[in-house]
Amino acid sequence: MDELLANSSEQLMTPCAILDVDAMRLNIHDTIERIRGLGVTMRPHLKTCKSLRVADEITGGRMDHPITVSTLAEVAYFFEHGGYTDILYAVGMDAHKVRSVVPFARKGLRLKIITDNAEAVLQVAEACKRHNVQFDVLIEVDCGDGRGGLSLSGEDLLAVAAAIRQTENLRLVGVLTHGGHSYRGEATAVALRRVACAERDAVVLAANRLRNAGHDISIVSAGSTPTLSQLDSAAGLTEIRAGVFVFQDLDQLRIGSCPSIDRIAVTVLTTVIGFTSNGNVLVDAGGLALSKDLSAAANKDWITGYGWVAHHPGLYVSRVSQEHGVLAVKTEGEANHVNLRKLLPVGSRVRIIPHHACFTAAAYDEYVAVRTTHGSIERWPRINGWDLRSVIDRGVSKL
Ligand SMILES: Cc1ncc(COP(=O)(O)O)c(C=O)c1O
């Protein structure tokens, strides 16, 4: 991979996001097998990749494959340019956004939205009526993460369902939860399994409560990359959403849901532009190119800085400003400042392994997709931001 990148160095402006297609395919293969083994449907969360080309790798290019997104720009992109029709927008819908998806609804998209409160239900339903569109709705429940979602025990679950039933343009089809607290607890298999079970049990319980109250619940949706890695049974679920699995990152390695460092498929290519006054290496990837996410630093035994340098185990990004990054040695002895100048002379390039693939990839409009096995490099576009008007299909191109 690094040889291929070196051969194309003049066409590659740094910093840029490198996608190791071979590693990504292994991640996809393992995840599909795992979800198949659990006997449920996969509804990948495409907020990590935000790329049609990557989406097609996951879904096999099947336009009726269920997908999850986190912005309406992604809805526009995956529907208009990808042809995907079964799209779950997994961030609470609000009434102001309804108008922007009307053109897609007119063309046949039946968007699935989520909600966890009766006020939003009434407001969204009123906007849907005004614009003459219909949405399928999943009620979000909280399985312990404490972000969105209704408490399982309270009466609100039934009240929100009843509010949906009273509307003309919303149809309750399911329940959803996300065990986001899997990122915050102990990074052990036992602890992760506990969260994975809590995630499953919460949403299954919610589905059963709603069914007992006479609601037709056909979708029971749960998932995250860490909980999927330890879930032992998906009984009661109909689908699993995971997103980061496709690229993996330093934080998933810390948690144990990434099997090895070679599976981290997205890295940032950066150029050595000089040396700091105390002998560290200065590169052109700073906070904007890497993100300032420090999630993997939760492992107190690791020195992570803002990322590790691929193939240089002693080196990490010790400091970032907007466009500058500083590479330093973790411990004296592994490398020293004299040989750093020899190891990484000005103009040389290295790849940085990021903490959190979703945040780092968000800095880039495309991936430089490298297939080492094939000797090919392509540019794969992605969709960033929130503005639906910016959604254009630039298509895959050769480097
Ligand atoms: C609602 C929802 N579902 C699924 C996911 C995917 O989880 P992960 O990012 O761990 O793969 C996320 C991630 O934030 C999410 O917010």
Residue in 47, 89, 257 to alter for ligand 1 test, most ligand atoms within 8 A of Cβ? 47
Q: 375: exposed, middle or buried (C-beta count within 10 Å: 0-12, 13-18, 19+)? A: exposed
> Mean pLDDT throughout 302-311?
96
Around ligand 1, the residues with Cβ closer than 6 Å are: 45, 90, 178, 223-226, 241-245
> Mean pLDDT throughout 27-32?
98
Range of weakest confidence among 84-88, 203-207, 369-373, 387-391: 387-391
> Mean pLDDT throughout 60-79?
96
Q: 278: exposed, middle or buried (C-beta count within 10 Å: 0-12, 13-18, 19+)? A: exposed
Question: What pLDDT band is residue 149 in, cutting at 50, 70 and 90?
Answer: very high
Q: How many CB atoms lie within 10 A of CB 137?
A: 28
> Mean pLDDT throughout 8-21?
96
Distance 46 CA to ligand 1 centre (A): 9
Range of weakest confidence among 120-134, 320-334, 350-364: 320-334
pLDDT of 162 higher than 80? yes
- Token pair in block for residue 4: 């291929």
Q: Which residue has the tokens 């096995």?
A: 373
- What's the predicted TM-score (pTM) here? 0.95
Distance 205 CA to ligand 1 centre (A): 20
> Mean pLDDT throughout 6-10?
91
pLDDT of 4 higher than 60? yes
Nearest to 137 by CA among 114, 162, 163: 114
pLDDT of 69 higher than 70? yes
Distance 297 CA to ligand 1 centre (A): 20
User: pLDDT tens for residues 264-283?
Assistant: 999 999 999 999 998 999 99
Report the pLDDT value the prediction gives residue 94, as an integer from 0 to 100: 96
Query: What residues form DSSP beta bridges with 140?
Result: 176
Report the pLDDT value the prediction gives residue 335, as an integer from 0 to 100: 55
What's the CA gap between 40 and 33, in Å, rounded?
11
Distance 50 CA to ligand 1 centre (A): 13
> Mean pLDDT throughout 130-144?
97
Residue in 45, 88, 358 to alter for ligand 1 test, most ligand atoms within 8 A of Cβ? 45
Q: Kind of pairing, strands 135-140 and 112-115?
A: parallel
Q: Which residue has the tokens 């340098």?
A: 309
Report the pLDDT value the prediction gives residue 275, as an integer from 0 to 100: 96
- Token pair in block for residue 36: 């198949």
pLDDT of 391 higher than 80? no
Nearest to 120 by CA among 142, 105, 138: 138
For residue 375, give every residue at least 6 positions away whose Cβ sits within 8 Å of its Cβ, in sequence order, or none: 4
Report the pLDDT value the prediction gives residue 399, as an integer from 0 to 100: 84
pLDDT of 332 higher than 90? no
> Mean pLDDT throughout 229-233?
97
Per-residue CA distances from 51 to 37, 240, 248, 262, 294 (Å):
26, 20, 15, 22, 24
User: pLDDT tens for residues 46-66?
Assistant: 999 999 999 999 999 999 999
> Mean pLDDT throughout 24-49?
98
Q: Which residue has the tokens 């495309």?
A: 366
Range of weakest confidence among 53-57, 116-120, 371-375: 371-375
